[in-house]
Structure 1
Amino acid sequence: MLPALDEQTGLLPLGRFGASLEEIKSHYVDDPRFAKSATRAEIWQHFESATDGIRSVVPVVCVWVGGSFLTDKIDPDDIDLVYWGEDVLVDQVTDPKDRYILQMFGMNQVRPATGLRVDTRYCLWHVFPEADRAHSVEHQSYALNRGYWDDFWMRKRNGAKEDPPQRPDALPQRGYFEVTLDGFHGV
């Protein structure tokens, strides 16, 4: 069961919550409270298309879903996503077209290139059996990205997108979902 939105803020409670695609769609697209939304169904279809696209290139361990789509806002502009793929599998992608697709996801260029209403990033999941002893560049990069995006998704901008960030924007205020797609299997 998904956590309820805070009645005062309209946000998810603070934290990362496991969820399925079906649960998110049921709560944030099909729920009667969003019946008047002109954007949610289309954004969800765009999310499904983007997810199918990246998964056609490389298995996706999971996707983190956040942003205004996971609020009480009737008509969000897009859905915010961080796709996680295992580094050794991503390194095996050699086709230039497929590498370009991964680059588009990683640099948030999917919407400008395709018109899909998705804000995307792509990060590498690095498997290391003893994380506290990991001194490899790959593991340090993974840990940095994981911490960065975890911190990012818990923030909420208090002004408009074009406004300069303020200290209150950096405070943890909301949660996000982690959806397992192809799973944490390792090689």
Structure 2
Amino acid sequence: MPLLPPFLPATDTLPPGRFPLSWADVETELVKGERFTGSTTRTAIFEEWKYHFTTVEALLGAVSRMWLAGSFVSGKIDPGDVDVTYLIPHDVYDAHETDSDVAEYLDNLGTRDWCVGQGMRVDAYILRLPETARFRDLGVTGAMAPGDREVFYQLGLYDEIWQRCRATPGNTQSDNRRGYVEVLL
């Protein structure tokens, strides 16, 4: 039984929402799925992304989870790359923020052209997760951790970006929204 809902006929993408999968589930659903048996790019892109993830994790020490979107999370047989957002625990992110070597390497890992130059078809973004853990602290003045307002803004921005898709030529009935995958680690 599939773990993802069927792709929407109008856009060939997931219905709007965030769909949690494990690494193994991503491979089963989006690489080895029956629909993709004729793909000439999915397996290689998946391997390149695994290498990219391993590099990010080795550099930082931890990745909390990831968001996948774009053509890799669609019915497109041969996507050109994988779009991924790495969500990094606040303490891990903050511990490396002042290290210029780590910051430069992270900047490279988050630059599509650099990744392609290294043989990885990965379009990556690296975001810090909020420090504020308790839900009830979110609306209380002074209870939210300093800087978390911007962190929540960035998370919301990328959530909205990943739920958008390009307009399908000639299709006026689609609202051009799509779903994306959250890879649970």
Tell me the TM-score normalized by structure 1. 0.82
Cα deviation code 1:136-165 (max 9, x no counterpart): 5521111111110011011011279xxxxx
Matched residues in 1 for 2:176 and 2:91: separation? 32
**Contact kept? 1:14, 1:175, Cα under 8 Å:** yes
Identify the match of residue 101 of structure 1 among 88, 105, 110. 105
Task: Indicate the residue corresponding to 1:142 in structure 2.
Answer: 151
Q: Does 1:123 align with 2:130?
A: no
Corresponding residue number in structure 1 for 2:19:
17
Provide the identity percentage.
28
Q: Provide the C-alpha distance between the structure 2 equivalents of 1:106 and 1:138, rounded to a whole number of angstroms.
A: 22
The SS at the match of 1:52 is: helix
SS in 2 for 1:92: helix
- Measured against aligned partners, the alpha-carbon deviations of 1:91-129 in whole angstroms (never above 9, x if no partner) come to 212654332222223444542442300010001101213
Give 5+ residue unaligned stretches, structure 1: 161-167, 182-187
The alpha carbon displacement at 1:69 in A equals 0.6
Matched, 1:92 2:95: yes
Aligned residue pairs, count: 172
Residues 1-187 of structure 1 aligned to structure 2 (within 5 Å): 1-58=3-60, 59-93=62-96, 95-108=99-112, 110-128=114-132, 129=134, 130-133=137-140, 137-158=146-167, 171=175, 173-181=177-185
CA RMSD of aligned residues (A): 2.2
Segment of structure 1 superposing worse, 8-17 or 148-157: 8-17
Partner of 1:163: none
After TM superposition, what 4+ stretches of structure 1 lie above 6 angstroms from structure 2? none
Which blocks of at least 5 consecutive residues in structure 2 are unaligned? none
TM-score (norm. length: structure 2):
0.83
Q: Deviations along 1:37-78, whole A, 9 cap, x unmatched?
A: 111011000110000000001211110000011111111000
- Work out the CA distance in 1 between the residues paired with 2:114 and 2:181: 21
3-state DSSP class of the match of 1:148? helix
Residues of 1 paired with 2:115 and 2:122: CA distance?
6
Amino acid at match of 1:179: V
